[in-house]
Chains A and B, each alone.
Chain A
C-alpha cells in the first residue's frame, strides 16, 4: 500500500516535470482560409491606407497585416535578421533599406524575384533604384521608394548656388566676412550619414569604395581627394561647430532656425520648411548635389520590398508586395509621406506638382546618383568607415586612407571586430 502511494506520487512528480517541459502551444493566426501576409516595414504614417487599398483589391485572395519595425535603421535590421536567422515563418513581406539587399540575399533569407513577378517589378522602374534591389545579377526585391540628396540654399543669402564643395567653402567664407549666417550643414556625425557623404565624394571624384563585384577595396586617388575635401570642409568657415554630431534632422533644424545658409539633405526638408517656416519657403531653393571638380554624385537612399524565404505564402506575398509598390501606392507614399517614387511615370502625376516642385531635380540626380557599396558585409564596412572618418576635422588623408583600406578589407572577410 505504502509502495503504491510512493509510486503514484513519483509518477505525478515526473508528469509535472514533463508538463513543464512542453513548449507553449502557439497559435498562428489567419482567418478562415484567407492567407495572412505579414508585412514588416519601418514606421510610415500612411502605410496603413496603402495596405487597406491592397486588401480591398485582393478581394479575399490574401490579407496584409502591417507590422511596424523600430524607427531607427539599426533596430529594424536587427529585428529582421534575428528572426530570419531563426527561420521565423511569421514574416512574409519585408521592407528593406537599399543597403541590406546583398546581405539578406547572400544569407539565403529572401527569395529571388523571377518570371512574371520580376517583370512587373522592373516595368517602368527607374534604373538606379532597381539596381539597389539586385545582387549578383538577380532581382531580390521590388523598389518601393527612392531618395537623393540635393543642395538646399537660401536665395536671399546665396544668389547663385555653389556647384562644388570648394565653392561652398568660398561662399561661406564670404558670408562670414559679411557677418551673415554662413554654415553649410552636412551629416558629419559618426553614423551612416557620414558614410553616405564619403561615398558621394568618392563617386564625385570618379572612384568607388569597393570594386564592382563588392569583393575588394577600391578607394585609391579618388578617395584621397574625397578625404582632402572632407577635412578641408570640416575645418572651413562652412562647418557648423556641431558638424561632428550632425545628423539629417539637426541639419534641417539648423536651416529652419536660420543658423545655416545651405545644407545637403534629402527632400523631406522641403515639406518640413513649408510646415515650420512658411515665410522662409520662398527663398528656400534647391540645386544639384555639389561635386569636386564638376557635377556631384548625389547619395542614393530608399526602400525595397522583399519576400522572406521562410514565408508560408510566397505567391500571395509577391502579389502583395507588387500591390504595395504599384503606381497608386507610390503616389500615396510620395504625396502623403514624402517618399519619392521609384516608378518614373508617377513623377508626371499632377498630384506631385505641389508637394514636389523639385521633382525634376530628383529625376536628374537619380541619373548620376552614387549607390552605396554592395556587399553582404555592408553593415561592417559602414561601421568601419564611419569610425575611421570621425571626426572629419581630424582626417589625415594618407593615414586615414591606409586605415580605411585595412579595416574595410578585414570587414569584407567578416574577420574584423566591430566596435
Chain B
C-alpha cells in the first residue's frame, strides 16, 4: 500500500517499468470485474428504486421519481422493522463486546490447552447460521424443544414479539461472540507484554492495567470489531428468516426488503428499501470513522 516517492519512480529501470505495466495489466481484469459486480448492481438498484415496477404488472412500469421513498418512509411496517433492527443491533453488539472481551482474555491467558480452548470457543462460529437457527427454533417450539419444555405449559416464546426478539438476539450473540473474541484477541496480541509488566511494576492493579494500558492500546482492534459486527448485525437476515420470518412484527429491514422484493415481486419498493439499508450502513460506517477519529480503521495510521 506504500506509494513510491517521485524520486524513486524516476530511478526505475526499463525492466522495472515493464514489470509495473505487467502488474497493472494483470490487475485490470480483476479490477474491471470488481467494478462490474459491485458498482453496477448498486446503480441498477438505485434506478429500480425510482420506478414503479411490479413484476406482476409489467405493463405499468413507469418512472416515479422519489415517490417510492415517500411510500416507504411513511410506512409503519418499515419503521417497525427499522426499530427492531436497531434494537437487535445495539443490544446484541453490546453483549457481544463484553462477552467477546472476556472470551478473548480467557483465550489469551489460557495456560493449559490453549489450542483446545480456542477451538471450543470458535465452534458456534463454525456452524452454519441457518442450521443453528433451526436448532434454536426447534428448541423453543413447544412440543419439540428442550428449552420450551422448561417454560410453563402453553407458552410459545416465538409467537410473542418481545420474547421472539430476545431469542433472536440470543441466537445472534451465541453465534457471533466467537468472531468478536477472535478479533479482540488479535488486537490483544499486538500489545507488548512489557507495557503491562511495567504498569504492574508501577503498582497498577490488574484492573488498572486492563483499563488504562490494554484497552487504549487495543482501541483500533476494538473499533474494527465493533464496526464489522454493527454492520453485520444491522443486516441481520438468516436468524430472523428461520426463527419467525418476521411474524409478530419481528421483521428486520432486510427481512422486510426480502418480503417486498421476492414475496411481493415489487422491484420498485424492494429496491427502495435496499437503497435505504445501504444508506444506513454507510451512515454507520461514517459515524465510526469520523466519530472515533484517527484510531479508526482506514485512517491510515
Contacts and interface: CB of A to CB of B under 8 A. Distances in A.
Interface of A: 2-3, 6, 9-10, 13-14, 16-18, 20-21, 74, 77-78, 81-82, 85, 103, 106-108, 190-191, 241-242, 244-245, 376-377, 379-380, 383, 414-415, 417-419
B48 to A, nearest CB: 13
B8 interface: no
Nearest to B55: A85
Interface string B233-275: 0000000000000111101000010011011111001000000
Contacts of A419: 77, 80-81, 246, 249, 251, 256, 259
Interface of B: 14-15, 18, 21-22, 25-26, 28-30, 32-33, 54-58, 71-72, 75, 77-78, 80-81, 154, 156, 159, 246-249, 251, 256, 259-260, 262-266, 269
Contact of B156 (A242, A415, A417): A242
A103 B54 CA distance: 11
Nearest to B32: A17
Contact of B263 (A16, A78, A244): A78
Q: In the complex, which of the residues A2, A13, A85, A414 has the most CB atoms of chain B within 10 Å of its own CB atom? A: A414
A252 B19 CA distance: 74
Contact of B260 (A106, A107, A417): A417
A377 B56 contact: yes
A46 B160 CA distance: 38
B18 A418 contact: no
Contacts of B58: 107-108
Contacts of B71: 415, 417
B166 to A, nearest CB: 18
25 contacts: A9-B22, A10-B21, A13-B22, A13-B26, A13-B28, A13-B29, A17-B30, A17-B32, A17-B33, A85-B55, A103-B56, A106-B57, A107-B265, A242-B154, A244-B159, A245-B156, A380-B264, A414-B56, A414-B264, A417-B71, A417-B72, A417-B78, A419-B77, A419-B81, A419-B259
A78 to B, nearest CB: 6
A383 B266 CA distance: 14
B256 A10 contact: no
User: Considering residues B18, B78, B246, which has the most beta carbons from chain A within 10 angstroms of its beta carbon?
Assistant: B18
Contacts of B28: 13, 17
B91 to A, nearest CB: 22
B25 A13 contact: yes
A418 B55 contact: no
Nearest to B262: A78
A418 B256 contact: yes
B55 A417 contact: no
A399 to B, nearest CB: 15
A394 to B, nearest CB: 13
A87 to B, nearest CB: 11
A287 B247 CA distance: 33
Contacts of B14: 2
Q: Which of B25, B33, B256 has the most CB of A within 10 A?
A: B25
Nearest to B142: A242
B225 to A, nearest CB: 33
Nearest to B30: A17
Contacts of A383: 259, 263
A78 B249 CA distance: 21
Contacts of A108: 58
Nearest to A376: B56
A362 to B, nearest CB: 30
Given A242-B156, A380-B264, A418 B77 contact: yes
- 5 residue pairs, one from A and one from B, having the closest CB atoms: A17-B29, A419-B77, A417-B75, A414-B54, A376-B56
Contacts of A82: 262
Nearest to B15: A2
A376 B249 CA distance: 25
Contacts of A17: 28-30, 32-33
B29 A14 contact: yes
